[in-house]
Structure 1
Amino acid sequence: MKYGSMILLGVCLGALARLFSLRVDYRQYPGYPRGYLVHLTLGFIAASLGGLVVPALLQANYIAVTFLGAAAQQFRGIRTMERQFLLEIEDTELVPRGDAYIENIAKIFEARNYLAMITAFLSTLGYYLAITFTIPFIYAIGIGIFLGGGLGYILHAVMKEETVGDIGEVKIVDLDFSGPNNSNIKVEDVVVMNVGLNESLKKWQESGIGIVIEPTNDNARATLANTGQRQAIIHDTVTQLGVKLDVGVQDYTPLARLNLDNGKVCIIIIPIEPDPACIKKAVENTPVLEASRRKPLESGPGKIAAD
């Protein structure tokens, strides 16, 4: 096959780019092995499409290149599929992810298929340019790997998410109690919950932990104020450290409230693993959701108001 080496190089590098961006972490999503199989197969298809672009252009088969439009439509379908799946299992979570977190995950899976396609395309392009200038075969392979793999790595780094630790300072604090029978649970003067049952109140007094996230600037303050971002923080913390909660036991539900005066986020939780250092790290590692990110300081009025 005339373009066999070129296509094989692109497909291999594109598929590897998708493999390296696919991992099972504490969220256990995508699941192993079924989730791996689905996403690796889709990544291979994306890499194959990217690897065929240059040969199709060289053959002046411009109609064949239009399949990229169909591919883009299919990748948007992946986003829809992921969103639908996560929404269907949302009711099984003791502490839900929230719609914003689900949409963020769905977008990531769509984008990673484009990453595989672009890596494959640039690999074949680099190989073709090298061959055109009569560079030896082995060096042409190296140039294709360098161009496709290098840009794929750069794109992967660019796509890396910010975390809560990047936009806020996280502190672990003791809970305060006030009001009749000390039934108001407070974090730094912010009343987060009122508990009526003495048994539940005693549990909060014995095992409850407070978390305070202080935003670094007004951009961070607007981002952390988003309810979807706060729900994601609680979900990730619970996923990693557990929570003493069960269906129908509403009094132990972790909650987040906003300090309206300074923008701090105040969270209460009864974790299974009450290690303050681990809780702090779990909160800091929570991704900043794309749908939650706000930048008021980038606007004229916002910048003037912050001065």
Structure 2
Amino acid sequence: MGVLFGLLARLSMLRTDYRQYPTHPHGKIIHLSLGIIAAALGAVAVPALLKKDYTAVTFLTVAAQQFRDVRNMERDTLTKIDGMELVQRGATYIEGIAMVFEGRNYLVIMSSFVTSFTAITLNWYLGLAAGALSLLVVHRLRTGKSISHIAEVELAPVRQEGADLYVGDIYIMNVGLKSNQEIISERGIGLIIKPNNPNSKATLSNLGQRQAILYDLSTILGVYRDDGEPALIPMAKLDMRDSRLGVFILPQEKDPAKAVEIALRVPILESAVRMPTEAKVNEEGN
């Protein structure tokens, strides 16, 4: 029963979305196999603990090492693939994905352990209830917060003053070629992301978080450029006065409303989160 609920937990967390990762079907087979191993470890740990066979429990430490190796494997694979992208994920996004895959194996162990422990110490139908409850917990922990939790996103005009490109009043870059200026006028979309508080400002200033926004927008809407065209690359620049983030993209599908919705759904990367208001010096100041 524990293995079953552990496997169900892994299945509920395994999906190939717009980022096409894990790949179908071989990437899914790898992660399902690891999920079965994690579920079996969580289920077997219960009778081992009840029999005070602590030697058997040490296999959990071996499993933890294996899952760390999986994280390293994911990081290395995605880093190599990222070099072939027109708009890259960036190291922070890749580290977040690798961390997620490691953490989900631990959630599988938790689900199978809770189910087995309840079924063995109490009875099987309470074990079913505990397994169902663990699936709800897993579902809640499956996804984190998004940009919509920390900022507002609004459309802004893309304008050019000579060779200077602006999104609203935020300077983006210099575009010298007339042909590139015409493409930008025809296809460019501008967004301004307004942080809600000082913590949001610090998070949005992280280069990895900015790159994640550009990557998601370019993956879903497409990107109107080819290799070797630096003037047409999507960019995100801060307004140094108030920490608003100006985002410029050249999508294949020019849909401003969809661009706003995509930006709101971009995940907040754990490695990019900053909370300066929690610092003791700020608390003492208040």
Among candidates 125, 128, 142, match of residue 145 of structure 1: 128
Residues in 2 aligned to 1:199 and 1:303: alpha-carbon distance in whole angstroms: 53
CA distance in 2, matches of 1:226, 1:10: 41
1:291 alignment partner, SS class: helix
CA distance in 2, matches of 1:59, 1:122: 17
Q: Could you tell which deviates more after superposition, 104-113 or 203-212?
A: 203-212
Which portions of structure 1, spanning 4 or more consecutive aligned residues, are displaced by more than 6 angstroms? Answer: none
Paired residue for 2:64?
72
Alpha-carbon distance in structure 1 between the residues aligned to 2:35 and 2:132: 15
Match of 2:114 among 122, 136, 141: 122
In structure 2, the residue matched to 1:197 is 177
Show the 5 A alignment for 1:58-137: 58-130=50-122
Residues 90 and 208 of structure 2 are in contact (CA less than 8 Å); yes or no, is this contact kept in structure 1? yes
Q: Of the candidates 209, 214, 221, which is equivalent to residue 194 of structure 2?
A: 214
Please say which of residues 140-149 and 233-242 is displaced more in the overlay. Answer: 140-149
Partner of 2:272, secondary structure, is coil
More moved, 229-238 vs 197-206: 197-206
**In structure 2, C-alpha distance between the alignment counterparts of 1:65 and 1:208, rounded to whole Å:** 58
Q: Hey, what's the Cα distance between the residues in 1 that align with 2:268 and 2:220?
A: 17
In the alignment, is the contact (CA less than 8 A) between 2:12 and 2:139 conserved in 1? no
Structure 1 residue 300 displacement after superposition: 3.7
1:228 is displaced (CA, Å) by 0.3
Q: Which amino acid aligns with 1:273?
A: E
Following superposition, the deviation at residue 80 of structure 1 comes to: 0.4
Distance in 2, matches of 1:303 and 1:245, equals 47
What amino acid sits opposite 1:35 in the alignment?
G
Q: CA deviation at 1:159?
A: 4.8
1:183-194 mapped onto 2 (5 Å cutoff):
183-194=163-174
CA distance in 2, matches of 1:271, 1:303: 44
Q: Which amino acid aligns with 1:170?
A: V
Percent identity between matched residues is 42
Provide the residue aligned with 1:288 in structure 2: 268
AA partner of residue 50 (structure 2): L
Structure 1 equivalent of residue 241 of structure 2: 261
Partner residue, 2:7: 15
Corresponding residue of 1:45: 37
Q: SS of 1:89's equivalent?
A: helix
- Which residue is equivalent to 2:137? 154
What TM-score do you get using the length of structure 1 for normalisation? 0.90
State the alpha-carbon separation in 1 of the partners of residues 232 and 243 from structure 2.
Answer: 24
1:239 aligns with 2:219: yes
| Distance in structure 2 (CA, Å) of the matches to 1:118 and 1:73 | 17
User: Quick one: which amino acid aligns to residue 94 of structure 1?
Assistant: L
Is the 1:163–1:284 Cα contact (8 Å) retained in structure 2? yes
SS class of match (2:270): coil
Q: Cα distance, 1:158 vs. partner?
A: 3.4
Q: 1:115 touches 1:152 (CA, 8 Å); kept in 2?
A: no
Taking the aligned partners of 1:221 and 1:304, their CA distance within structure 2 comes to 21
Q: Does the residue aligned with 1:244 lie in a helix, a strand or coil? A: coil
Q: What secondary structure sits across from 2:253 in the alignment?
A: coil
Cα 1:12/1:301, change in 2 over 3 Å? same
Q: Quote the Cα distance in structure 2 between the aligned partners of 1:158 and 1:271.
A: 32
**Aligned letter for 1:288?**
I
Structure 2 portions without partners, runs of 5+: none
Per-residue CA shift, 1:44-76, capped at 9, x if unaligned? 000000000111123332111111000000010
Which ranges of structure 1 fall in alignment gaps of 5 or more residues? 1-8, 131-139
Matching residue's letter, 1:142: Y
Which amino acid letter does the alignment assign opposite residue 248 of structure 2?
A: I
> Could you tell me whether the CA contact under 8 Å between 2:175 and 2:231 is conserved in 1?
yes
Query: Who is 2:150 aligned against?
Result: 167
> 1:177: how far off?
1.5
Query: SS where residue 271 of structure 2 aligns?
Result: coil
- How far did 1:304 drift? 6.9
Query: Alpha carbon RMSD of aligned pairs, Å?
Result: 1.4
Larger Rg: 1
